[in-house]
Amino acid sequence: MIKSSSLLVIAAMAGGFLISTGASAGDVLRGQEKSLSCQACHGTDGNSPIPTFPILAGQHRDYLLQSMRDYKSGVRANAVMKVIVDPLSDLDMQDLAAYYASQKGLRKIDAGRLKEIP
């Protein structure tokens, strides 16, 4: 049986790990404020009206965050996205990911109208 003092030490170590790695869920409101440069291609809420640009709204936060990190590092190659994400801090990207993940999304354009994907 694990003693309560041992559990306290384990919890403190886990908390320190999260702080040291910068793990954060991001802030939705800050993400919305930072989303202006994204809106021309991805729409005001992440539901791009242009089929060639990805829909960000409703995507998984971790996927969005990793995608931005990959564009910034060059793992994913896209000249436009590289210019957009280069000035962003990791916290900026966490906030943007939180914002777009919180939006109602994954809609499709059908005959010029947005419809929910069943």
pLDDT digits (tens, 9 = 90+) for 7-23: 444 444 444 444 434 55
Q: What is the rounded distance in angstroms from the CA atom of residue 19 to the CA atom of residue 34?
A: 23
Structure tokens of 110?
A: 């059908």
CATH code matching the domain that covers 26-105, chosen among 3.30.200.20, 1.10.760.10, 1.10.10.10, 3.40.50.2300: 1.10.760.10
Tell me the whole-structure pTM to 2 decimals.
Answer: 0.71
Q: What is the rounded distance in angstroms from the CA atom of residue 53 to the CA atom of residue 39?
A: 11
pLDDT in tens, 39-76: 999 999 999 989 999 999 999 999 999 999 999 999 99
On average, the pLDDT of the chain sits at 82
Q: Are 91 and 31 in contact (CB under 8 A)?
A: no
Closest CA to 91 of 34, 6, 13, 18: 34
